[in-house]
Structure 1
């Protein structure tokens, strides 16, 4: 009678050295990604240091808006622009948001110029830990620049009499600017890889800039607008950044349940506006992933 010999089961317990090696490899990969991102970000800041005209213009222009538009409507009747004490205070939130939006919309231009001058090809053939460091560096640079511009505008608005939110309010403004700049930067970088050249990207920027400004609550409240424009402004992500910041200028005691905007379909709370901005940034980041994978492959 024959007997069946069962082969011994293989040892499924991983060797501790293999686990440690895997963890070390992952840690080194992440460290390399951080190093590459910081190095590429430093390159962009060096370019800005050598040619600071873009940053200077991005600060001077919104300050001029505050001065000129504030003076233009300084004799407006009290209460015409809601609870704001002056049109300069009302306009301050719109200028902060629109400056961050305009800067983030230009985020794709450096990448587009790198494409056209051949530097991007050199990066793509370089032994990078992750080619996503190219995109992360651009996003980090633009978001940092947007926060710097927002800080200068907040200080200028306070000097011009618009007031200053408390510490928690300033932190909330920084978070709102961050969310908006992140989402718009993602879309701009996606366009930089999708469009054939910088002329087309500049055309998109010109066509998008002013319509989104006027179709928001930056210059006038919703109650001033016709019904169709109220609907458009209520769908504009800029309005969901402007109204919470405007509320912070008028109220030191605020919460996520505070009502910041009366849309045609209902009230929008502070937390609801943040969720809209968070969703906008998430959708923008997810939507460019397939394009980035093809472009960076």
Structure 2
């Protein structure tokens, strides 16, 4: 395992591409405030097409064009919106700034009212870019990337799932239970945490394999280095479903496999320079209370 600290800065901060939380037309007023803050900072903005349509604007651009024209992307919503933006922009490698609507998020740490002051710091290189590991999976000739986790789950609530797990082609475990979570360190505070998995510092490069309600009490979460390719062979007669970041679902039949390895590109998140991950954990998980 290793951690990745970066002194990376944006080559340019002249153009931002904005994506709003889906199915939330009520964010229009907040978007207008955000747009005004960018204008005052002399940063041009473009709005993604579906976001523009949602709030009644007619000047949106398709997501591919947004990525090609932008120096960085801005996600306006919660952690789920940011995860979606990161995954959709994966091939472009653009840093993403998360503006949070509501309380503090694990990934989105800028509130709308804090944006003007933060943009001043952005223009003066007083920020940081965190490089977060992503994982790449393949099954049935389909490939996908995950920011938080890939979950292999049973198809029927009345049946348990049996999965054989291999590391670099060699069997190391057979799991029998409700399913498996293969998580990134960033995703360690998501489903992995609720299933009893460990919290892992988000800039670490590691796989976390956590069984969900295993039939045997000897099955425990496992943290693995990213040098390996992990393969999960579904032996259950009903097959399984693969859920990527809680957003995409794929069906897997009996005797088919899911191969997982570290993605070649990392997610880049723009944060306040003073942001402290352990303070976020303390607030979100109420440690010490």
Q: Please classify the TM superposition score into its range, dividing by the shorter chain length.
A: under 0.3
Higher strand share: 2
Higher helix share: 1
TM-score by length of structure 2 reads 0.27
Larger C-alpha radius of gyration, 1 or 2? 1
TM-score by length of structure 1 reads 0.27
